[in-house]
Amino acid sequence: MDEANGTFTGLELVTGTLDGRAGTFVLAERGSFTADGTVHGHIEVVEGTGTGDLAGLRGTGSFVYRNGQRAFPYNLDFELG
């Protein structure tokens, strides 16, 4: 049997502190996954969604999730306007 693969897209609302600044923003996510449970994702801050101290936030990044992980990092390169 061939290994199952797929793709996904989604949006995620993030609330917290980034570089000492508090607020919220939305991430657009897209990526792919394989039958073994590995997910490779690309993230991008949705323009205009930053609130509070995160107003004007821009950025892109990525993540890798492996089946069974309880937590995993998001890598985000960002600029605050």
Domain chopping of the chain, boundaries: 5-79
The model's pLDDT over 17-70, given as tens digits with 9 standing for 90+, comes to 999 999 999 999 999 999 898 999 999 999 999 999 999 999 999 999 999 999
Q: Which CATH number fits domain 5-79: 3.40.50.720, 3.40.50.1970, 2.40.350.10, 2.60.40.10?
A: 2.40.350.10
Please say whether the beta carbons of 1 and 23 come within 8 A: no
pLDDT of amino acid 2: 53
Q: How many angstroms from the chain centroid is the CA of residue 8?
A: 12
Q: Which residues contact 1 (CB under 8 A, 6 or more apart)?
A: none
Strand arrangement, sheet containing 39-45:
5-18, 21-34, 39-45, 58-65, 74-79
User: CA end-to-end span of the chain, whole Å?
Assistant: 50
